[in-house]
Amino acid sequence: MEKTSPPPDPPAPPAPDARTGTRGFLDATVERFVREFRADRAQLFLYDEESNTLTLRAAHGYPAFGRATIVLKLGEGLSGRALAERRPIYTEMASTMRGYVDHPNFPDGDTQTFLGIPLLRGRERIGVLSLLRRTGHPFLAEEISSARLKAAEIAAAVQNAGALLLAEHGAAAAAGKGILVPTEQMSFRGTAVSNGWAMGPVRVSKPRPSLLGGPDAPPLPPAVRGFDEAADLVEQTLRRLAEDLDKRLPEAASMLLEADTMMLRDENFAGRIRDLVAGGTPLPDAIAKVSSDFIAIFEGSDNDYLREKARDVEDLALRLLEAATVADPADRDGTRAATIVVAERLLPFDVLRIARDRAAGIVLCAGGATAHVTLLVRSLRIPLLIVKSRDPLRLPDGERAILDCANETLYVHPAPALVRRFENRARDESADRRLSLSASEHTATRDGESVRLAANINILADLDAAVEAKAAGVGLYRTEFPFLMRQSLPSEADQAAIYARVLARMPDRPVTFRTLDAGGDKVLPYLYKTREENPALGLRSIRFSLKYPYILDQQLRAILRTIQDTGRDDVSIMFPMVSTIEEFRAAREHVETCLAALHGEIGDRPVHAPYVGTMIEVPAALGVIDALAEESDFFSIGTNDLIQYLLAVDRTNAAVAASYAPHHPAVLRALRIVAGAAARHGIPCSVCGEMGRDPRYLPFLVGIGIRSFSLEPTQIPKCQELVARLTVPQCQEYARRLLSLSTLAEIEAAIDDFSRATFG
């Protein structure tokens, strides 16, 4: 077929000139459409093909425009859909349409009549013009046709304006767009990377100069000290940071920094810098040159881990440049306690410094967070929100803000009512902490049946909260964190040091270590780089451990050596995601082999053997549950994954999350099967997962015979209160009732009735 060229452009308004300016032209275009089509509000978005985003460039009827803006991905919102699908979208009830997005700074609650017209040149996307009228005032068919025709007429001129705006962007970015001083509450929507909230003054992290620079980049400042002195200064700073963080993140404080200190001594890096300096190159330029070469090599890799390594090199190089050129680098120390840090990009060192200074939260603008940064902020319990807009970067330091990850919103200059709401939340959380202090050592139902509430532990810092909540031990210690944070496998000694700290913090309470749960979304990139199409069903957990037996044996030796050193007989090892009896036998054989080897090392001392158990998370385990119960010392039911796999629902996927139903009859019956097998074979059975702390499901679990739960430490006091309001016969009858029902609706009604009668 012969290719056809796009039709010639129709007559269009003149391109913007020096008298009107690009922005003036876009504003005038919007006002023209508002007048001609009697619109109450209007928006003009321009499309950037490189970033695949639409940015609001002109608007009518929105007081916040000029102080805030909207950035949409192609296909997001009704405007984004109109451009993505290259067709107009018209509706008289916009909020009911698929893809509708409500922007707090640009509310459309009273203007639900929406007409979105894509601006196109042939198939090329330029932007979209959206006209809105008050609810109940429709656009007539002839008005829609006329608006489409006029939009086609201006497409070429709008495209020209867009090109001019892109040309202006570089200079505007360098000069800045001026300070944004809100006079009323503004909101910025984003994507939450971690949980929690924060309220406090904003502190904007100023961008640091790029190492890669360019021919027009300003020269680097002169050196005030030599390379060796600068390297020593950086190493001292890194070590102080590790010491400061040791109490909050002992698993990673030293591990994160060891690669940097190693690189400082590496001849391929440090040696090349010294050689350049010896040849007459100024030290700052030598640091920039060698670092840029390393960064380019790593960024050119097809390996995710190596690409992220480029950021670590940049981090180290910036430290070196600062140490080499600044008389007192400590003067650059930026963030302070209780602030909300706003930045365009953060490197791992920045996060560590923020953590050291105990900042309250982080907002990243118009960018993303690397896996390293994401894992750090989650582990450090720092709320982090990524917003699309760059406007928060223009806020003055000290401007009050509220960061709410639950609602994925940053509120700037919050209204008094909103401030009061979060102050009340802070008081409620303080009351919860006081409740933790008043928790009892013993948990029992109203009729005296003992129930064990142990703690889930992610990092060592969680142990303080577990002790404070009077947890009955550690029901689940997740051992993967040191593996994920390092740039290489942690040694047996590294692991043993961590496990020893866990046992020392729980000297008289049982502890269960879950072996490495790698794979899925917890990839060890330094080990292998295979990207799986469906990682949730791929090489993870016990499959991963058995495929890499040297990693499993090293971890088991570290746990077993710690048990022998402490003389503990109340320590357990648990294998995750077991699906066959062969998997469990193979894993247990590794325990026995490692224990036998240790027996030869410790001589005549008694050997302390751990309990070895199975985590029930895979539906296949239900078919061999009695065989597993015969050979396991205990069961722990991982309800989160068991439900996910039973129902084939990813609860983190918004499209199907509503189908994640812990009360599905198949889930309830599966739980009864596991509890029944454990009871028949006389082994303990605990529940580890969110069902265990939910008042809707806790009575059911008690009713089928579960007497041990492992929870997040902060959930223990409330769960203790719930248990104290139950009786065993009441829970047994409740469980029988739910198990007799076959539909979700019937079960939901029964749960609601029981919850109202029992908990009010």
- Pairwise CA distance, residues 722 & 706, whole Å: 15
Of the residues 60, 103, 372, 413, only one is catalytic, namely 372
Residues 6+ apart with CB under 8 A from 403: 197, 198, 199, 340, 360, 361, 363, 383, 385, 410, 411
CB burial string 634-658: b at 16+ within 10 A, e below: bbbbbbbbbbbbbbebebeeeeeee
3-state secondary structure of 65: strand
Asked if 352 contacts 245 with a C-beta cutoff of 8 angstroms, the reply is yes
Q: Which residues of 596-614 are buried (b: 16+ CB within 10 A; e: fewer)?
A: eebeeeeeeeeebbbbbbb
d(CA 387, CA 392): 9
25 and 157 in contact (C-beta within 8 Å)?
A: yes
The single-letter code of the amino acid at 551 is I
- The burial class, CB within 10 Å (0-12 / 13-18 / 19+), for 68 is buried
- Residue 342, judged by CB atoms within 10 A of its CB (0-12, 13-18, 19+), counts as buried
What's the rounded Cα separation, in Å, for the pair 683 and 599? 27
Q: Tokens 């460039």 appear where?
A: 57
Which three-class secondary structure state does DSSP give residue 575? strand
DSSP 3-state assignment of 204?
strand
DSSP code of residue 472: S
| Active site annotation includes 372 | yes
Distance between CA atoms of 692 and 744, rounded to whole angstroms?
A: 20
For residues 722 and 445, give the distance between their C-alpha atoms in angstroms, rounded to a whole number. Answer: 9
HEC readout, 121-167: ECCEEEEEEEEEECCCCCCCHHHHHHHHHHHHHHHHHHHHHHHHHHH
77: phi > 0 → left, psi -120 to 50 → alpha, else beta; which? left
405 is catalytic: no
Bridge partner residues of 363 (DSSP): 342, 385
C-alpha triplet 205, 206, 208: angle, nearest 5°: 120
Task: Return the C-alpha torsion angle 133, 138, 139, 142, nearest 10.
Answer: -160
User: 540 by DSSP, 3-state: which?
Assistant: coil
Paired sense of beta strands 450-457 and 474-478, if any? parallel
How many other C-beta atoms are found inside a 10 Å radius of the C-beta of residue 463? 20
- Cβ-contact 64, 105 below 8 angstroms: yes
637 phi, psi to nearest 5 deg = -90, 115
Q: Amino acid letter at 156?
A: A
Under DSSP, is residue 475 helix (H, G, I), strand (E, B) or coil?
A: strand
Q: Closest by alpha carbon to 273, among 300, 313, 240?
A: 313
3-state secondary structure 590-620: HHHHHHHHHHHHHCCCCCCCCEEEEEECCCH
Identify the residue whose tokens are 């072996």: 515
- From the DSSP assignment, how many helices (H) and strands (E) are in the chain? 25, 22
Structure tokens at 192: 């939450």
The β-bridge partners of 477 are 457, 513
- Per DSSP, the three-state class of 539 is coil
Active centre residues (catalytic): 372, 688
